[in-house]
Chain A
Amino acid sequence: MKETRFEEEINGFLFREYGDLGTPKYLVIGLPDVGLVGAIASVHLVRQLKLEDVIGVDSYSLLPPVVVVSNGEPKHPVRIYSNGSLAVIATDIPIPPASAPPLSAAIVQFARTRGIEAIISVTGVGNPLRFEMEKPGLYIISSDENASRIASQVRAEKLKEGILAGPYALILKESIRKRLSNIVVMADSFLDIPDPEAAAVALEAASAIIGVSVDTRSLLEEAERIKLRLKDLMKETKNVMARMGKGLEYRPPLMYT
């Protein structure tokens, strides 16, 4: 592992900085969730923009005891990548349900102290008709006026009604509480099959919001290999999603108009 330059503990999570985070304006979050849309999108963003692995996020008690070895180098399971102006969180493991609340709060606190203007959460929304869709639909939730303004350049359906469950819900609530802008970008996705096509749709929107150009064609070209590689992570994530109250997303909220 690279040598530590600086480390801080937030909510039981150690943020170990071994590279230069810079002063990013946006923090993109892609956690394993529905269709692994966020996970696929975040890794693609890191690869396309050649972002550097600068911070490892870990906890000996809140995350499974794993080290990820990549190109012979041991790494933390949750990592922050950056090019100085954009930061991306990527993780190799599904977040255990009990660890989602402190991790979500820690991420928002970290973003706030590092001067991030907005968190962009990228995820999928499980749609049972996904297998009949040519192109997945796109939806956006904005935490405040600033987030709405930032997201206004993207043509997407504003989610007017529904329930969001899991770590993205926690990040949204904590962002509102801490007065940090959060935009949740969601694409129609398979619930339990890795969905690179949905990731491409969500990533096109996210990249337009953050003002970078990202080629998503390779996501479609490499879809088969991505699905094969992420098959087991999807299975692990499905186990976690069920315990995270994801079933709630498939019913309407109480209030009606």
Chain B
Amino acid sequence: MSWFEEEFEEKRKRIMDMIRDAFRRIREMEDMLLEEGVEERVLDERFTMLSRRQMEPLYTIIDRDEEVVLVVELPGARRDSIDVIVTENEIRIEAHLEEEQVRRALGEYSWYKSLERISWSHKLPFHVDPSRVRVERRGLRVVIRIPKAGIYHAP
């Protein structure tokens, strides 16, 4: 292939990439609309949380063979204020925030200054016997183990 042909081929590929990219972006926008406005939901959630002077913790859910594990991280929480409440179909976590830790982590922005606590509840898609749920505290990490043997669906 000559230098000219190589250059032409490169340009052709770039134009095709741009066209494909344009179509991809249109699909992307459609996907976003179908997702019922993720961005709008994020804005609403954050604004509501800040209005209530509270924030959500970080969490991840792991579905294993014999148990469902919820790992919840509570950065900024006062260690002696963490409450974990397990009911038949809900896990709730409440904690007070350490003011100095929040200030150092999030800076002096006015809307962060007013944050007071962590509040989170997670509705379980099943029912469980709370006495079988194991809650382990590892500093500011809470590991909640729900054995699948204890899971049932409400009538």
* Shortest distance between the CB of B53 and any CB in chain A (Å): 15
Given contacts A193-B71, A224-B76, A224-B101, contact A98 B58 (CB under 8 A): no
Contact A243 B62 (CB under 8 A): no
Residues of A within 8 A of B21 (CB): 98, 101-102
- Please provide the chain B residues from 4 to 55 with a CB less than 8 Å away from any CB of chain A in the complex: 17, 21, 24-25, 28, 31, 38, 42, 46, 55
* Shortest distance between the CB of B40 and any CB in chain A (Å): 12
Contact A224 B55 (CB under 8 A): no
* CA of A229 to CA of B31, assembled, Å: 29
Of the residues A102, A192, A229, A232, contact of B60 by C-beta under 8 Å: A192
* CA of A32 to CA of B141, assembled, Å: 23
Residues of A within 8 A of B102 (CB): 228
Interface readout for A226-239 with B: 1 if CB under 8 Å, 0 if not? 11110110111001
Of the residues A190, A224, A227, A235, contact of B71 by C-beta under 8 Å: A190
Contact A225 B105 (CB under 8 A): yes
Contact A227 B73 (CB under 8 A): yes
Contact A235 B42 (CB under 8 A): yes
In the complex, B135 has a CB within 8 A of chain A? no
Contact A225 B24 (CB under 8 A): no
* CA of A228 to CA of B59, assembled, Å: 12
Contact A193 B106 (CB under 8 A): no
Residues of A within 8 A of B38 (CB): 239
Residues of B within 8 A of A102 (CB): 17, 21
Chain A binding site: helix, strand, loop or mixed by DSSP? Answer: helix
Contact B76 A193 (CB under 8 A): no
In the complex, B143 has a CB within 8 A of chain A? yes
Given contacts A190-B71, A227-B58, contact A98 B25 (CB under 8 A): yes
Contact A232 B46 (CB under 8 A): yes
* CA of A224 to CA of B17, assembled, Å: 43
- Please provide the chain A residues from 93 to 119 with a CB less than 8 Å away from any CB of chain B in the complex: 96-98, 101-102
Contact B140 A224 (CB under 8 A): yes
Which chain A residue shows the least CB distance to B63?
Answer: A128
* CA of A15 to CA of B80, assembled, Å: 49
In the complex, A29 has a CB within 8 A of chain B? no
Residues of A within 8 A of B105 (CB): 224-226, 228-229
Residues of B within 8 A of A239 (CB): 38, 42
* CA of A235 to CA of B45, assembled, Å: 11
Contact B101 A131 (CB under 8 A): no
Contact A227 B31 (CB under 8 A): no
Residues of B within 8 A of A229 (CB): 105-106
Contact A231 B55 (CB under 8 A): yes
Which chain B residue shows the least CB distance to A190?
Answer: B60
* CA of A231 to CA of B71, assembled, Å: 15
* CA of A231 to CA of B143, assembled, Å: 18
Q: A102-B17, A226-B105 are in contact. List 10 more A-B contacts (CB 8 A).
A: A101-B24, A131-B143, A190-B60, A192-B58, A224-B75, A225-B75, A225-B105, A228-B101, A229-B106, A239-B38
The 3 closest A-B CB pairs, nearest first, are A228-B75, A227-B75, A228-B105
5 A-B pairs with CB atoms under 8 Å apart are A191-B60, A193-B60, A226-B105, A231-B56, A239-B42
| Chain A residues within 8 Å of B, Cβ to Cβ | 96-98, 101-102, 128, 131, 190-194, 223-229, 231-232, 234-236, 239, 243
